[in-house]
Structure 1
Amino acid sequence: MKKRVATAGLVAFLAVDIGLVALALRSGHTASDELPAASTTRAASLTTSPPTTSSPPTTTTKAPTTAATATGARAVPVSRLVSALDAATAWRATTGTCDRGGAALELTSDGGQTWTKLRSPTRAIARVQPLDATRVFTVGAGADCTLKQYASSDAGRTWLAPTVISGGWARRLDNPTQVLAPKESAATPCGDGVVLDLSRTSASEAQSLCADGSVVLTRDGGSTWTDSGDAPGGIALSNLLVDNRLTTYAVRLVGACKGVQLVEVVKGRAADVIACVPVPDARRGDVGLSVTERAGWIVAGNQTWLARGDLTSWKRA
């Protein structure tokens, strides 16, 4: 049963991504509680995308992409999500669909050894965002596919009434070429192409993984998108900040790896291979990625793989 009573602080973190950061600050947490900065363990080997400082961004116009990617594989958006808080706590979800439902939500606090099944607050889920050990919000939709925001302050046991999203990020569930962005309600980062995955770092900055393996970046809330690198064969995306610089990871299906290959995406050069994770029977759409300051997480169906440090060594939970 959804709770109707909430403090002013909880109402605030429902409103916008910026409001979430402000709430964290008021409650004694820094903005890094919402989106942790990356670990400096690999700092010497990381090459990151520098901030845009000289000229305004230009809109990227991508060639139309049909149901097949450049490699001939079918374009399948991520439907198995993982969103980690640290090396112990993470949420995973099945997106479901607006018409058929099927959304599922789970939480682990022991590094993926066990998962607690929770009631999804809606038929379909587009995003899960933990704020701390107990506070989390989801973006999802009912049968009409209108995205709304749902919040919990007790680790998903109960949910507040949904609110209209203002200033948030999520893939649209009714159109795989569109994303909801703070400045655009139906942004098309990949042009006519399918958006496989979306990962944000702030209320103004996010990246999308396109069906052709390209990664595009916005720093103005989704109004314009620019080239940010390539990950041919990419199926899931995660990004975060390292010393205030954007660092981008993707997992992909390639012949050189029997499983999924983790790469760092860097503009202007081939993706930097980090690890081959021996995930059996990995399928497009069924693999999710989340990288935090303390750990990297990969979910594939009901499997969970975890890495610490420089992300080169992965173990199945």
Structure 2
Amino acid sequence: MARLTERAGLVALAAFLVVDVALVGLAVSSTRQPVARGGQTVGTPSGALSTAPAPGPSTSPAGSAAPTGANGGAAAAVDVVPVAVGVVGVDAKRALRFTQGSCDKGGATLELTTDGGRTWGPRSAPFDVLVRVRVRADGSAFAVGADKGGCAPAIKQTRAVDAQFGGVGSVSDAWYRDPRATDTVGLPSGKRGKPCGSADVIDLAVVDSGAQVLCGDGTLLSSRTGSSWRTVTTARGALAVAIDGSGRSYLVVPSVDGCKGLAVVDSGSPTKAAGCVVTDLGKVDPGSIALSVTPDRAWLRVGDEVHTSAADLTGWTTP
């Protein structure tokens, strides 16, 4: 009888241990959370992927909501860096294009086309570093840039786009991206500002009524004087901005709905392509994209190529 009692006790103890082990295993597995990577959750049962919870609202340096993404929240297909090139449309046939250069090495270049972008002729760059060129309605133009060494911003004027730039002057009433600091813009008041906070200013577009800056987080800001800024939109991955004669602005973004290449979108509808340039995004160098929109022609520079379109931005071609 004692042996039966002892055997029953052993069986009960074994059963208890099995249940205890099972409970411990359940507790451990319930605290093992999946690992989030790249906006997806990895490690859910059966290897399935599920969308990770969206982060809560955050505030950009300018007070705007965190960008939701022109490309549906996916990572940018081209690295977002400050533009290092420019294109400036004059009319249907003429445009200027330039490379910026740098304060330590110089290297700015300037070219002119008079045949709609089929050929480009070199011109003498007015500065070692060239950050802005503006063509006025009367055909005169000015350039903002700097020379190596101190790299202090300055301005030069010309009576026509095919004429040489004249003597240097101080910049006191022009917008420009400061060549010495990627987070700083020069203001028409003669002061400097940081509209994106500590983030980079990716691009700057200017018309007579004011300017817009594209920040590194995709926030597009607008201002008349630079003393205060308002949020226009957010478009994650945006690479360049331009303003047309009516004050409407456009962005260049990679891979939105209906476009697997570079899309030109209205800032009012940043997820819908107004026009698409089919190109291999893997071969697009960061900082090599610039946009200009005039009443006669739109110009999109991608590296050494320049694509053109009618003012409706829908049919982009390479001349």
Q: Is the 8 A contact 1:139 1:148 kept in 2?
A: yes
Q: Which residue of 1 aligns with 2:126?
A: 121
* Alignment match of 1:225 (pick from 221, 229, 232): 229
Q: Is the 8 A contact 1:63 1:193 kept in 2?
A: no
Q: Mind listing any 5+ residue stretches in structure 1 that lack a counterpart? A: 1-58
Q: Which residue of 1 aligns with 2:168?
A: 162
Instruction: State how far apart, in whole Å, the 2-side matches of 1:316 and 1:162 are.
Output: 36
Give the 3-state SS of the residue equivalent to 1:249 in structure 2.
strand
Q: Is the 8 A contact 2:82 2:201 kept in 1?
A: yes
Instruction: State how far apart, in whole Å, the 2-side matches of 1:117 and 1:133 are.
Output: 23
Q: State TM-score, norm by structure 1.
A: 0.72
Q: Which residue of 1 aligns with 2:151?
A: 145
Instruction: State how far apart, in whole Å, the 2-side matches of 1:201 and 1:158 are.
Output: 23
1:260 equivalenced with 2:266 (yes/no)? no
Q: Which residue of 2 aligns with 1:171?
A: 177
1:170-212 CA distances to partner (integer Å, 9 max, x unpaired)? 001111111001136221111111100000112x511001111
Distance 1:207 1:154, change over 3 A: closer
- Measure how far apart 1:300 and its partner are: 1.2
Give the 3-state SS of the residue equivalent to 1:234 in structure 2.
coil
Identity %: 31
Quick one: which amino acid aligns to residue 128 of structure 2?
R
Quick one: which amino acid aligns to residue 290 of structure 2?
G
Q: Is the 8 A contact 2:266 2:274 kept in 1?
A: yes
Quick one: which amino acid aligns to residue 234 of structure 1?
A
Q: 1:54-203 residue pairs with structure 2 within 5 A? A: 60-61=62-63, 71=75, 74-131=79-136, 135-143=140-148, 144-183=150-189, 185-202=191-208
1:141-161 CA distances to partner (integer Å, 9 max, x unpaired)? 012121111112253442211
Q: Is the 8 A contact 1:260 1:282 kept in 2?
A: no
Instruction: State how far apart, in whole Å, the 1-side matches of 2:142 and 2:169 are.
Output: 11
**RMSD of aligned Cα (Å):** 2.5
Asked which structure has the greater RCO (Cα within 8 Å, sep 6+), the reply is 1
Instruction: State how far apart, in whole Å, the 2-side matches of 1:79 and 1:215 are.
Output: 18
Q: Which moved more, 1:249-258 or 1:136-145?
A: 249-258
Q: Which residue of 2 aligns with 1:205?
A: 210
Q: Which residue of 2 aligns with 1:36?
A: none
Q: Mind listing any 5+ residue stretches in structure 2 that lack a counterpart? A: 1-60, 67-72
Distance 1:184 1:216, change over 3 A: farther
Quick one: which amino acid aligns to residue 233 of structure 1?
G
Quick one: which amino acid aligns to residue 275 of structure 1?
G
Instruction: State how far apart, in whole Å, the 1-side matches of 2:255 and 2:216 are.
Output: 15
Q: Is the 8 A contact 1:119 1:157 kept in 2?
A: no
Quick one: which amino acid aligns to residue 112 of structure 1?
G
Q: Which residue of 2 aligns with 1:275?
A: 275
Instruction: State how far apart, in whole Å, the 2-side matches of 1:270 and 1:293 are.
Output: 21
Give the 3-state SS of the residue equivalent to 1:207 in structure 2.
strand
Number of corresponding residues: 249
Instruction: State how far apart, in whole Å, the 2-side matches of 1:207 and 1:106 are.
Output: 25
Instruction: State how far apart, in whole Å, the 2-side matches of 1:301 and 1:148 are.
Output: 26
When you count helix as a share of all residues, which structure comes out higher? 2
Quick one: which amino acid aligns to residue 247 of structure 1?
R
